[in-house]
Amino acid sequence: MQNFFGNSSRRGTEAQREIIRRREEVGSRKWDKNKLLTPNSYFLPSLSPFPLPSASSAPLRLCVILLPIMLLGCRTLQRDLLLSSAGETAYRDLAELEETVTRLDGEGADVEELAEARRQVAALEGTVADPAYEALLAAWSGRLYLMAGRTGDAQREYRKSQSLWPSNIPSQVLSFRLERDLSRRHAMIEASLETESAYGELLIERGRVLFYLNRFSEAVAAFDSAFVLLAAKPYYEEAYRVFRDKAWELKDLKDDAGSRTVELARREEITWRDLIEMTKNETSLLRFITAGRDVPVETLFDQLLDRAFIPFTQDTALIEWPEAKPSSSEIVERSGAAWYLWRLYAENRANRGLLTRYSARIANNPNAQSPIPDLDILSPFLDSILGCVESEFMSLPDGRNFIPGEPVKGSEFLLMLKKL
């Protein structure tokens, strides 16, 4: 086997020259879609640039097919063959469309943005008579239709893409998105990755489906691997970094966490109602009120408010409480979360002295200053915030300030809650 290819360096150079010469020959030639390869070898849109020996010369035929792949790699070869048939301008147009669709998919798109992207597709349609080009264009068009909720049109574009260039990567991704059942979608992705593991686009899809299946640690690994493979296309990381970072926040969530808890943990902001529901579902810290009974969340809110576990205001600058009571739909800020957590901690340890631990020390020192710059030493929140920071239930985001008015994410609160 060592001499199967002979002088690999010399023949490799000859093969590369042959590819370049063949590109020039077929630069303006239209592809015959009837000569497309089978789905198992989809990465070669046509054999016309590579005149092969007869079928009886099987070993030599295999050599001619595999040598360019070994030299250039599947990804490079796909790009080069597209260039040879459609040209640099066509490739650049598709690359720009890929970036547009990827950014809209990751960041979310409104009606006008989708309409503009649709105009981008329309401007490219019919400009290049080449199956590989038209297949990729159809796949990206299908993705846009899917984002717009036009599933039927997306399915039509998928079938068109497959008929022109079976199993091209964008059409595979479109097929995953068309499958609504997450478990089946995951199985489809894994099957593709068995033979196409070098494609970051497929790993992005693995990360997304694992995220929605609440398998967050695995999702983080998939996204990180994808971003490395797609380093030449930084817009993929920019578009899907939010999924990766949210998965990282949720990676310590236990497998037995309820679906409602996972839903709340994904939220960028939570209300008092959400906060109480997570406490009720994931801990036993409210047993001093519920005594094991299933008490409605709204009832718990009222009782916790009456017992000062929920502050009337979350403004740390106010010295006196306002008369108006907060509602259960009010967004929880870091100051409010600290107040609530510190009181739960004191109650469950039967140590009410914790509620004045720090203010009592300061009262005996007229020259005392707050150790946290954005927390007034006379603030009613002093004990709660200092207690949560010292006990490491919460942290100083910038290493110095508490930033009390910042809303609390669901995942952040769940982590705080688990530390009590």
Task: Report pLDDT digits (tens) over 71-111.
Answer: 334 555 555 555 546 678 888 999 999 999 999 999 888 89
Q: Report how far apart, in Å, the C-alpha atoms of 25 and of each of 67, 134, 264, 350, 401 are.
A: 20, 21, 60, 85, 67
Whole-number CA gyration radius for the chain: 30
Other Cβ atoms closer than 10 A to 161: 27
* Tens of pLDDT, residues 228-273: 999 999 999 999 999 999 999 888 776 666 788 889 999 999 999 9
* Residue 9: per-residue pLDDT: 40
Rounded to two decimals, the pTM is: 0.67
Question: Mind listing the pLDDT tens digit for each residue in 106-155?
Answer: 988 889 999 999 999 999 999 888 899 999 999 999 999 999 999 999 99
Q: In angstroms, rounded to a whole number, what is the distance separating the alpha carbons of residues 164 and 170?
A: 13
Residue 48 pLDDT more than 50? no
Closest among 271, 311, 231 to 410, alpha carbons compared:
271
pLDDT digits (tens, 9 = 90+) for 265-301: 999 999 999 999 999 998 999 999 999 999 999 999 9
Report the distance separating Cα 282 and Cα 301, nearest Å. 17
Counted residue by residue, the chain has a size of: 420
The predicted model gives 166-193 an average pLDDT of 96
> Is residue 358 a contact partner of residue 382, using CB atoms and an 8 Å limit?
yes
What fold does the segment set 108-250 form as a domain?
Answer: 1.25.40
CA distance 346 to 354: 6
Nearest to 387 by CA among 341, 334, 333, 348: 341
Least confident interval from 42-51, 76-85, 401-410: 42-51
Q: Could you list the beta-strand ranges (E) of 215-359.
A: none
In our burial notation (b when 16+ CB lie closer than 10 A, e otherwise), range 86-121 reads: bbeebbebbeebbbbbbbbbbeebeeeebeebeebb
Cβ atoms of 59 and 50 closer than 8 Å: no
**Higher-confidence position of 37 and 320:** 320
Burial 211-222 (b: 16+ CB within 10 A, else e): beebbbebbbbb
Least confident window among 65-74, 161-170, 374-383: 65-74
Q: State the Cα angle at 408 between 352 and 261, rounded to 5°.
A: 90
Residue-range domain boundaries for the chain: 8-84, 108-250, 259-419
